[in-house]
Structure 1
Amino acid sequence: MTAPTVTGPFDALREQLTDAASTFAGSPDALGAILAGIVDDVDRALSERLEIFPVCHHSPASALAMVRRLRAKQPRVIYLELCEDLQPLLGELRNCRLPVAVQAFASELSGFPATWGPLSVVAPVTEASAEYQAIAYALETPGVELVLVDRSTDHVFQWSPREDLTAPGGDAGPTDESGLHGDAVGLEIGDVRPRFAELEAYLLHHGKVRHWSEWWDQYVERPLTDADYDTYRQVMVLIGSLFRRLRPADSDRLDRDEDRERYMWTRMRQHLATSGVDPAECLYVCGAFHAASRVEQFGLSSTAADFDITPRTDTQWRYGLIPSSHSAIEAQFHLAPGSVSIAAATWTKAVSRHRLSPYRLDGQRTAATRGRRGRTTAAPSPAAGPVDDALTGFLAAPPELDGLDEAELRGWCVDIVRLARRNGYLASTADAIAVYETSVLLAALRNRVRPTPYDFADAAVTCIEKDVVPGQRDVRRLCEILLGGDRIGQVGYDSLPPLARDVLDRLQPLGLALEKRPVQRALLDLGGHPELAPCSDLLWILRHLLPPDAARPIMGERRLGHRSIQESWDLALGRNQRALIELGYEGVTVEQVLEQRLRRAVRGPDATASGALAAVEDAIRLLDSPRLVEELGARAVDLLAAERTVDDAPDVLRRIRGLLAYYRTTAPSLPAWCEAFVTTGYAHYCTLLPTAVTAEETEVRQVAAMLGFLFSVEGLALSLGCDRSQLELAVAQSHPTAPAKVALLWAGRHQLGLLPLAELRARCAGLLANPLVVPAFPQYLAGLVHALEPVPGLTPFVVETMSTAFARLPDPVLLPWLPTLITTLRDQGPELVPLLVREAGRTFPGALPELDSWVPPWLTPPSPPRAVTVAAPQRRVGVLLAAHPEAVDAVASLLGHDCGWLPSADPPADRGAVTALLAAHPETTEAVVRHLGA
C-alpha cells in the first residue's frame, strides 16, 4: 500500500494506524478504515473555525480543562448543548445550593399520548462539571452571552418513539431511585459511553473493573486531569469518534443523535448570522460524541441547507429548579454508586493541587470558597493556534506511574473503621490494617500502582462487612460517605415558584425552619392559639397534595364535621422540596391546585360516582367552597346515573351515609345535589338489582351494598317522590341462584315485610335438615352475615343461625369454612364484626360457670300467653289520652280526620270510638301498657 503524502498534522498518525491495522488484521480494509476515520474525525473537529470544546458529563477533567480554556480564551459567546427553552432558568442557579436540576414540566398534554403524562425533563447540574463552569463564567462575566442550542424539551418527546419513553432523544436516562428527580427524563451533556454492548464488556473485562464509571476514571479521567488543552481536546474527540463508529449503523438512536446535531448547528448558524459576532470569539460546548459529528450541516463552512425544525406542540410547559443529589444522578444515568461523589472529591483535590480559581455563582460562594480567592491562579494556557498532533505522543507514551500516597490511603482506612464502629460494626485497628493491605493488593491485581477509591471500597467491604451487615448502612455506603457523601442540593427561596414561597410564608407562625431537610415537629394548640388555625388548614391541604412523609399528622384528625383542637405534625418540606416545587407548576396557591385536581378527578375518563363523592368530602374538609361542593356533587349524580355496574356500590354507600349524616347535623336542609343523588341512586339500584343478583361477576358484598343503599335512604327517597313499589318489584324480580345471594334476598324480603322472621327461621332449619344442602349451608350463612349491612335488625337472628350451624354442621364442612368466614369478615365486612360481637355478648353468658346451665334463648320454650283484661288497659289508655288531647288532635289532623274530640265532654260518650278501636286491637293495647310499665 502506498503511504499517503504527509500534508496535515494527523497524517503521520493516520499512516501509523493504517499500517498497524494491516499488520495485525491482515488487511487494512475494515479496521484500517475505522482507525483512519477516527483520525479524520479528530482532524475535522479541531480544524473547525468555531472552536469545539468536547466534554463528558460530571467529569472533573472536563471541568478543569474548561476553567483553563475560559481564562485563556475569554470567549464572548458560549454555545451550550442544552435544551434551548431552559435558558431563562439558568440565572436562578445563583440562589441554589448544588447539585440541583433544571426542570421542564407539563401536566396537560397536547400532541402527545395521554399515557405519557405528566411529562418531566431534568438536567442535573453539579459544580464538578464543565457546563456549570461555562454557565458561571457567562453569568458572572459582563458582555458574555450564553446560548443554549439543543432541541427544546417539547422536541425531546416529539422525537421519542411512541412505544418507548425510557430513553427518548438519545440522551435520556431511566428514572432515579432516590425520588429527587421523580419519573423525569434526564438530560446530560456528553454521554460518553459505548453504544455497543460487546465493546463495553470487552473494555471492562480487560480493564479489570466492574463498572463503566470505574473504567472511565482510571483510563481517561486521571490521565486527562493534568493534560494540556490540545491533548485534552484530541483525546476526547478520539473517544467520541471511536464510540460513534463502533455502534449499530441502523440504530434509531443514531438517527436522533444526528438530528440533534443538525438542530444545534442550525441554531448556531442562525445566531451568528443575526448577532454578527466573530466565530473566533465563540466556544461550542458539547459532548465528545457530538464533537465527532459527520452530519452535512457540521461546521460553518458547510453549504448544506439548514435543518428543518418542526414547530412545538400546544403543550404548555412550566419551568423551575428542583433539588438533586449525587445518588439521584448516579441512579438516573446508570453510573456506579458513589461515582459522582468521587468525582466531586477529585475535583476539589485537583483545584487545590493546580491552584485554580474555578468559576462560581454568588449562591455557591461559601465561606470556604471565599477564603481561596487570594490564591494564585495558574498561568492561562496559550490561545489556540494551528492544530498540532498531540495524540501520537499521548497514545505512545507509557502511563505515568502515580506513586502510592500512603498518608491518603492510611487516612481512608482509619476513617472507614471509625465510621463502621459508629454504625454497629465490630471493626478494630486490625481491620484498618487489613483494608490498607487489601487495597494495595487489589490495585496491583488490576495493574495499578496507586489504589483508587474503587479499590479502597472493595477492600473495605471485604475486610469489614464480612458475612453480615449489623449496622444501618452497608460498608460500601459508608465508603461513599467517607469519600464525599451523597451531597443533596437545595433551591433557594428566591428561585422557588410563587406557590412554594406562599406555603413557607403562611407557615412562618409555626416558628420552624421548614427549608431544612430534617424532620421537624410542629405543635398546634388551636384552642389556646386560634391564630394557628390557618396553618392547620394549610397543613391538611399539603397532607392531601404532597407525599405522605412531607406533612404527617401525629395527633389530631380532620373528618366531616370534626376538627381537632390540638394537633401535632411531623414536617419534612425541605426533604420534599421537589414535590412542593412541582405543585407550583400547577397553580399559584395550594387551594387552587387542590380545586383543579378535584375537578380533574371527577371529569376524567375513569371517574366514578364513589370517586366524585370522595372529592366532595375533600372539598368539604379542606376547602370552604359551597360552589365547588355543589359542582362536584352534581357531577357525582351524573356519574351514578351513567354507571352500568355496581362495583363501587360499597364505597358509594359508605360515603353517602357519611355525607347525609354530616348535612343532617350541620345544615338546616339537604343540598339539592344530595337529594338528587338519593333519588337517582334509588331508581338506579332498583333497576340494576335483578340483573346484579344473577350476574356471576357481582359479589355478595356489592349486592348487600345496593340493598343497604335502598333501605338506608328509603324514607328520604319516598319523601322526595320515589315509589316504594319500584323497590318491591325489583326484589320480586330478583331470582338469584348462588346460595349467599339467595340468603341475602331473604333478608331483603324480610325487611320489606314480605317474609316473617318465623318463616325465615323455618327455611334455615330446613336447610340444615337437608343432607344435600348441608355442604352449601356456610354460603347461605355468609349471605346472612352480609345482610347485616342492609338489615342490621337481623343481628340476633344471624347470631342464632351461626350458633346453630356451629352446633349441627359436621366437622368436614365446618372446619374448612371457619377460616373463610374469618378472612371474609376481615376483608369485606370489618364494620359488621362489632354488631355480631355485641349481640353475642348480650346473648351468651358472661361467666364460665353459667355456661353449663345456660340454655340458648331460641331453644327456650315460649311462655304461655297471659290473659289480658281489655277493659282495664282501655280505661288507662283513655285516661292517658284525655290528659293529653293535643296529641290526639295532632295525629287525627295529620291523618286527615276530625274525631270530634271534646276535652270537656263526658269521657264515656266521646270515647266510644276510641274504646271500640282498642277493643279491636288488644295486642297493641297490651304492648302500650307494658311499655308504660302499667
Structure 2
Amino acid sequence: MTAPAPAGPFAALRQQLTDAAVAFAESADALAGILAGMVDDVDRALAVPLEIFPVCHHSPASALAMVRRLREKRPRVIYLELCEDLQPLLGELRNCRLPVAVQAFASELDGHPSEWSPLSVVAPITEASAEYQAIAYALDTPGVELVLVDRSTDHVFQWLPRDRPRPDGREAETGTDADDAALHGNAVAVEIGDLRPGFAELEAYLLHHGKVRHWSEWWDQYVEQPLAAADHDTYRQVMVLIGSLFRRLRPAIPERFERDEDRERYMWTRMREHLTTSGVDPSDCLYVCGAFHAASHVEQFGLATDAPAYEISPRTGTRWHYGLIPSSHSAIEAQFGLAPGSVSIAAATWTKALTRSGLTPYRLDGQRGTRPRSRRAAGGGVTPTTGVTDRLSGFLAAPPEPGGLDEAELRGWCVDIVRLARRNGYLASTADAIAVFETAILLAGLRNRARPTPYDFADAAVTCIEKDVVPGRRDIRRLCEILLGGDRVGQVGYEALPPLARDVLDRLRPLGLDLEKRTVQRALLDLHADPRLAPCSDLLWMLRHLLPPDAVRPIMGERRLGHRSVQESWDVALGRNQRALIELGYEGVTVEQVLEQRLRRAVRGPQATAAGALAAVEDAIRLLDSPRLVDELGARAVELLAAERTVDGAPEVLRRIRRLLAHYRTTAAALPAWCEAFVTAGYAHYCTLLPTAFVDEQTGVRQVGAMLGFLFSMEGLALSLGCDRTQLELAIAQSHPETPAKVALHWAARHQLGLLPLAELRARCHGLLANPLVVPAFPQYLSGFVQALDPVPGLAPFVVELMSTAFAQLPDPILLPWLPTLITTLREHGPELVPLLVREAARTFPGSLPALDAWVPPWAATAPTPAPPVVPAGPVVSLLTDHPEAVDAVATLLGCPGQWRRHDEPTHTEVAALLTQHPDTAAAVIDLLTADPT
C-alpha cells in the first residue's frame, strides 16, 4: 500500500526534493530526511500566528525587506532578539551617529568567576540592518511597543562553562586601521541573525563551488542580490530554509546545542508572558530574530503548544553598567569574523538599493549624520493574509535574472581607484584603469556572474595596480574598501554620554578645542599667564593616568613630586578614544572618584606589592590633593612590606621611598607617621631577610644591593626612630654568600660597618687577580662592587682602582675574552650605576694625553707593602728564639708555658723536647721559609 502524499502548500516541493535525494544520493534516506526536514521547518515557522521575521545581521536585503514589511503591516508590537536589559538605551540612539554599539559592562563581579573581570557585551547597530529599522519604526511611531526578548547580559555569562578561560570577543585585526578595528575591545558580541555554516566542510564546499574566497562574498552573491527585490513571502521562506540548512548541518556540540535552544526557550517564554499581560492580538505583532532561530525545534516554539514554561534563573549580584560606545565597520568585521570591507560594501549596497527602489528607510528623529525625513501617517493597519503559498519552488528553480553590466558604475570605480592609488604612491595610469575594467568583467565571467561585483573589482584592481610592491601605508585592497564606502566610524552624542564623560568635556571647554573630533588636537597651556587653565591641567594629568596612552599625551611639561610645569603642551584625542572615556564613566561620576577607587583597588588586590603601594602614594600626591588618601595608602604600603617574603621588589621600593622622603623633607615640617613606620618596618624586614637573600640562588645581586642600600641609606633615620644597629651587624655576620657578585657585596657591607679595612679589601682583590682560577669570574666580583656603589658610595674610587689594576696587570690572552663578559655583566646588573664610575674615572685620570705619561695613580702610595725577604736557611730554633713574644703567646695558647732563651744561650729543655718529638713539622717550616718566591 502506498503512503499518502504529504499535504500542505509545500507538498510538491517536498516530494521533488525527496525524489532528487533518491536519484542522486548514495545515502538517500539521510539526505531525504534533511531536505524534507528543511521544508517542514519552513512550513512550521510560517504557520505560527505570531509572524516570525527572519533576518541576517547587517544584511541590506533583510533591511529592505523589513522596511517593506513595516510599511505594509504596521505592527503594534515588535519583539526583537536582543538582550532585554539593553532596552532603556535604545532611545539614546537618536543622539548618536551610526554605527554605534549598545554595551553592558561590569568590573566588580558577584556570581561570576573573578578572573573573567571585566565583563563586556556589545551589540553593534548600523543603519543597513533590519534591527535598526525595527527600532526606529517602534520608537518614532505612536502606539507601537518595542520589547527585547533575548536573555539578559548576565545570563550570557551565566550559561558559559565555569572552567573556560576569560570569554573574549574575536581579536581585532592588526594593520593600518587597527585602532578602529579594536573599538569593541575584548567584548563579547551579541549578534542578531548569525547566519554562517557551523560545519567547516559545508562552508568550504560552498566557497569552492561558488568560486569565492570568503563567506561574506558568497552571501552577497547568492543571497543578498537575489533577495534584494524579492517579495515578503519569498524572503521569509528562503531565509527560514537557509537557517534550517545551517541548523541541521552543524557539528554535534552539546554545549552549543543547549545554549542555542535555551535562548529560544527564553525568547518564546518572554513573548508569551507579554502576550498574556498586554492582551495584544498576535497578528498585530512581529517577531524579529535570526533565521537560525526561526527554524527552532524547541517544545516552547509557537503559541499553540502545551509545553511547560521555561524556568528562567535569577540574575547574579553583578552590577551592570549600560551605555553606548562608538563602533565602526572594521570593528564589526573583526568581531564577527567577516571579510575586510564587507560591512562597507553592505552599506554601499544599501544606499544604492534605496535609490533604485525608491524606499524611504526609517530613521530616528534627530539622528546625527542623517537628513530629516518627512513623517508618514501611522495608519494602515494589518494587511489581510491570503494564506501561505509556495514561493520556494519558483525561487529555487528560476535562473538568475540577466543583469546588464552597469558600465558607468564600473568605469567610475576604475577611474577613482587609479586616482586613489596615485595619491598613495602607486605609479598608476589610465592604462591601469582600462586594465582593471576589462579584468573585472573577465573575472565575473569566469565566476559565472552576470556582472562584476565589488569583490571582482577589488581582485582586478589588486592584480592590475598593486603588482608586487606596496609603496605606502595602504595596499590596493584597503583603497578599494575606502572607495566603496570606507570604514565609517560612529560617534556617541553628548546627550548620550555618561555623567563622567560629559563632566570631562565641560571641564576641558576652556581649552577651546572641539573634543568630539577624531583628529589629534594640540592644546597649549600657559599656566602663568592664564591661571584659569590650571584645573584643565590637573584633569589632563588624571586622564593621562586613567585613559590609553594616545588619548591625552604630554608634549611639553611634566608633573612629578614637588614640581609643576608653568607651561604645558598636550596632544588631545578624546574623540578617537570615546569608548575608553565612556567605560571610565561606568566606574564613577567624576574622574577624581574613579582615580581614588583605582588607587585603593591597586593596593588592596591579591597581587598588590609594597612597591605598587608606594607608586599609588606618589600618584595620589601628584594627582589628588587628599592627605587622608595618602595616609591610607602609605599605611597599606607598610602592611604589604611586612608581609612580603621575597625581595624581588627591593630596587623599586628603595627608589620610591627615597623620592618620597626627599619630597617630604623639602615640603613638610615633619615626616608623616606612615613614612616613619615604613622605614622602621623596612629596616627590620630587610635585616631579617638579608642572610637568606645572600645565599638564595633565585635572589639577584641587584635585589641584595637594593636591600643594603635601604639599610645603609636609611640607617640614620631608622636609628633615630628606635631601631638597633646590632640587628644589621648580626645580619651581615650571619650572611655567607657563595656567588662572586654577592661575595663582593658582602665585603663592601663589612667595609661600611668598619669590619673590613680598605687595605685588607684591596689585598683580597689583588689576591683574586693573582689567582688564574678566579680571573674568569672576576667580572662577577666587579658587578657586585658596582652594585655596592649604591649602599656604599665611598667605594667608587676603589672600584676605579680595581678596574684600572685589572686592565694594567692582566695579559691580553686573559683580558680580551674577559672584556665582553664584563660589559654584559655591567649592562645587566648596574646600568644606572656605571655613570658613577665614569664620573669618578674622569675625576681620577688626567684630562689630556700628554699628562698621562707623567701621571701617577693616587692609589700607588697605598699599594701593598712588598713581602719581606726570605729568611735564610738555618736552625728553626734560631728563628723561634729571635721572636720570643710570639712564641710565648703560642706556647701559652697550647698549654706549654715557659721562658725562652736566645739560640746562643742554654736551650730550654721543654722546647728542645718538643722539637725532637715533631721533626716533620720543623722540616716543613724550614722548607716553607726557604722556598723560592718565583
Instruction: Judge same fold: TM > 0.5, yes or no.
Output: yes
Query: For residues 675 and 27 of structure 1, do their structure 2 counterparts lie closer, same or farther at Cα, with a shift above 3 Å needed?
Result: closer
Query: For residues 374 and 269 of structure 1, do their structure 2 counterparts lie closer, same or farther at Cα, with a shift above 3 Å needed?
Result: closer
Matches of 2:249 and 2:488 in 1, distance apart?
35
Paired residues for 1:71-86 under 5 Å: 71-86=71-86
Matches of 1:112 and 1:861 in 2, distance apart?
71
Q: Which residue of 1 aligns with 2:326?
A: 323
The alpha-carbon deviation at position 114 of structure 1 amounts to 1.3
Q: SS of 1:754's equivalent?
A: coil
Matches of 1:6 and 1:650 in 2, distance apart?
82
- What number of residue pairs does the alignment pair up? 858
Question: Conserved in 2, the CA contact under 8 Å of 1:166 and 1:173?
Answer: no
Matches of 1:813 and 1:121 in 2, distance apart?
65
Q: Which residue of 2 aligns with 1:309?
A: 312
Matches of 2:838 and 2:22 in 1, distance apart?
91
Q: Which residue of 1 aligns with 2:158?
A: 158
Paired AA for residue 559 in structure 2: R
Q: Which residue of 2 aligns with 1:281?
A: 284
Paired AA for residue 65 in structure 2: A
1:849-869 Cα offsets, whole Å, 9 max, x none, are 2223333222257999xxxxx
Q: SS of 1:646's equivalent?
A: coil
Structure 2 residue 559 is the aligned partner of structure 1 residue 558: yes
Q: Which residue of 2 aligns with 1:337?
A: 340
Matches of 2:676 and 2:162 in 1, distance apart?
46
Q: Which residue of 2 aligns with 1:881?
A: none
Structure 2 residue 598 is the aligned partner of structure 1 residue 597: yes
Q: Once superposed, what is the RMSD of the aligned Cα atoms?
A: 2.0
Matches of 1:713 and 1:662 in 2, distance apart?
15
Q: Which residue of 2 aligns with 1:265?
A: 268
The alpha-carbon deviation at position 772 of structure 1 amounts to 2.0
Q: SS of 2:619's equivalent?
A: helix
Q: Which residue of 1 aligns with 2:659?
A: 658
Query: For residues 819 and 144 of structure 1, do their structure 2 counterparts lie closer, same or farther at Cα, with a shift above 3 Å needed?
Result: farther
Q: Which residue of 1 aligns with 2:919?
A: none
Question: Conserved in 1, the CA contact under 8 Å of 2:74 and 2:382?
Answer: no
Matches of 1:634 and 1:365 in 2, distance apart?
51
Q: Which residue of 2 aligns with 1:242?
A: 245
1:134-157 Cα offsets, whole Å, 9 max, x none, are 000000001110000000000000
Matches of 1:774 and 1:849 in 2, distance apart?
32
The alpha-carbon deviation at position 3 of structure 1 amounts to 6.3
Q: Which sits farther off after the overlay, 290-299 or 468-477?
A: 468-477
1:16-65 Cα offsets, whole Å, 9 max, x none, are 11111111115531100100000000000011000000000000000000
The alpha-carbon deviation at position 749 of structure 1 amounts to 0.9
Question: Conserved in 1, the CA contact under 8 Å of 2:66 and 2:134?
Answer: yes
Matches of 1:364 and 1:315 in 2, distance apart?
33
Query: For residues 235 and 778 of structure 1, do their structure 2 counterparts lie closer, same or farther at Cα, with a shift above 3 Å needed?
Result: same
Question: Conserved in 2, the CA contact under 8 Å of 1:68 and 1:380?
Answer: no
1:242-285 Cα offsets, whole Å, 9 max, x none, are 00001123442121001100000000000100111110000000
Q: Which residue of 2 aligns with 1:577?
A: 578
Which residue among 359, 362, 378 is the counterpart of 2:362? 359
Q: Which residue of 1 aligns with 2:443?
A: 442
Paired AA for residue 153 in structure 2: T
Q: SS of 1:654's equivalent?
A: helix
Query: For residues 167 and 536 of structure 1, do their structure 2 counterparts lie closer, same or farther at Cα, with a shift above 3 Å needed?
Result: closer
Q: Which residue of 2 aligns with 1:139?
A: 139
Q: Which residue of 2 aligns with 1:752?
A: 753
Q: Which residue of 2 aligns with 1:192?
A: 195
Matches of 1:394 and 1:648 in 2, distance apart?
71
Identity %: 81
1:598-634 Cα offsets, whole Å, 9 max, x none, are 1010000110000000000000000000000000000
Matches of 1:503 and 1:827 in 2, distance apart?
43
1:487-524 Cα offsets, whole Å, 9 max, x none, are 00000000000000000000000000011100000000
Query: For residues 816 and 360 of structure 1, do their structure 2 counterparts lie closer, same or farther at Cα, with a shift above 3 Å needed?
Result: farther
Q: SS of 1:399's equivalent?
A: coil
Q: SS of 1:29's equivalent?
A: helix
Paired AA for residue 700 in structure 2: E
Paired residues for 1:410-449 under 5 Å: 410-449=411-450
Matches of 1:721 and 1:406 in 2, distance apart?
92
Paired AA for residue 481 in structure 2: E
Question: Conserved in 2, the CA contact under 8 Å of 1:46 and 1:52?
Answer: yes
Structure 2 residue 630 is the aligned partner of structure 1 residue 629: yes
Q: SS of 1:693's equivalent?
A: helix
1:562-615 Cα offsets, whole Å, 9 max, x none, are 100000000000000000000000000011001000101000011000000000
Q: Which residue of 2 aligns with 1:700?
A: 701
1:706-761 Cα offsets, whole Å, 9 max, x none, are 00000010000000000011101101110101111000011111111111111111
Matches of 1:301 and 1:806 in 2, distance apart?
97
Q: SS of 1:570's equivalent?
A: strand
Q: Which residue of 1 aligns with 2:394?
A: 393
Q: SS of 2:79's equivalent?
A: strand
Q: Which residue of 1 aligns with 2:738?
A: 737
Question: Conserved in 1, the CA contact under 8 Å of 2:105 and 2:321?
Answer: yes
Matches of 2:10 and 2:368 in 1, distance apart?
43
Query: For residues 387 and 261 of structure 1, do their structure 2 counterparts lie closer, same or farther at Cα, with a shift above 3 Å needed?
Result: same
Q: Which residue of 2 aligns with 1:349?
A: 352
Paired AA for residue 609 in structure 1: A
Q: Which residue of 2 aligns with 1:32?
A: 32
Structure 2 residue 100 is the aligned partner of structure 1 residue 100: yes
Matches of 2:726 and 2:808 in 1, distance apart?
40
Question: Conserved in 2, the CA contact under 8 Å of 1:69 and 1:381?
Answer: no
Paired residues for 1:599-618 under 5 Å: 599-618=600-619
Matches of 1:13 and 1:362 in 2, distance apart?
45
Matches of 2:99 and 2:286 in 1, distance apart?
25
Matches of 2:438 and 2:414 in 1, distance apart?
10
Query: For residues 166 and 758 of structure 1, do their structure 2 counterparts lie closer, same or farther at Cα, with a shift above 3 Å needed?
Result: closer
1:450-495 Cα offsets, whole Å, 9 max, x none, are 1110111111111111111001211111000000000000000000
Q: Which residue of 2 aligns with 1:88?
A: 88
Q: Which sits farther off after the overlay, 560-569 or 156-165?
A: 156-165
Query: For residues 27 and 583 of structure 1, do their structure 2 counterparts lie closer, same or farther at Cα, with a shift above 3 Å needed?
Result: closer
Ranges in structure 2 where 5+ consecutive residues have no aligned partner: 866-934
Matches of 1:862 and 1:232 in 2, distance apart?
100
Structure 2 residue 161 is the aligned partner of structure 1 residue 181: no
Question: Conserved in 1, the CA contact under 8 Å of 2:170 and 2:186?
Answer: no
The alpha-carbon deviation at position 821 of structure 1 amounts to 3.5
The alpha-carbon deviation at position 231 of structure 1 amounts to 0.3
Q: Which residue of 1 aligns with 2:808?
A: 807
